[in-house]
Amino acid sequence: MRAAVERFGRVDVMIANAGYGVLARIHEMGEKEFDEIFETNVKGTWYAMQAAAEVMLKQEAVGSGAARRGHIIAVSSGAGRRGMPLYGVYAMTKAAQLSLCEAMRVELRPQGVYVSSVHPLTTSTEFFDVASTKSRLKSHGVGPSQSAEAVARKIVRLIKRPRPELWPVPLSAYALAFAAAFPRVADWVMARTIGSRTR
């Protein structure tokens, strides 16, 4: 953040995107693995949000609208709304990111800093290769896959028109709302999906 301010004079947008997944059943996850993914996905996001807020709250407001002092964005996941078998601890970290965003958005919006969360499903990155090296299982992801460039274009639109949440896969938010309303059905679908896409 200091380097950005030194170079550009202000920080208008901060995106917390670093994160990784580990495939393991909850009762088989080791404490060291748990701590490492929590440090990266949750504390990493928290550190970035704190550093951005410190800068943005001090800088001059520009223009009008919700993000006149800055826009903080955390890349969560569809898993932030629904725990998934074999990805339970990963989903927990994504739910934690969402909770941080929801609280911080209300805290900072009156001062002109807006906070959004982004919820992709499967994105074509090195995510699953990294997860496979850290796990005893290999996975191909869950749900429709999008390129990183496609998700990035949607994030650019989010920056231009801030809103609380971005769901890059159309209708995925509604599917997860259905899952919350009918958890038994969601459990059945999730078990079949994970089973068919994990080896």
What is the reported pLDDT for 123?
67
pLDDT for the residue 134: 67
Query: Annotated catalytic, 20?
Result: no
Report the largest interatomic distance among the alpha carbons of the chain, rounded to a whole angstrom: 53
Q: Which residues does the chain have with pLDDT short of 70?
A: 123-144, 194-199
pLDDT more than 70, % of the chain: 86
Superfamily in which the 2-197 domain is placed by CATH: NAD(P)-binding Rossmann-like Domain (3.40.50.720)
Domain residues of the chain, as ranges?
2-197
Strand partners, 115: 72
Q: Which residues of 126-152 are buried (b: 16+ CB within 10 A; e: fewer)?
A: ebbeebbeebeeebebbeeebeeeebe
pLDDT by residue (tens digit) across 154-185? 999 999 999 999 998 888 888 888 888 888 89
Which residue among the candidates 20, 90, 114, 174 is catalytic per the annotation? 90
Q: What is the pLDDT of residue 69?
A: 97
What radius of gyration, in Å, describes the C-alpha atoms of the chain?
18
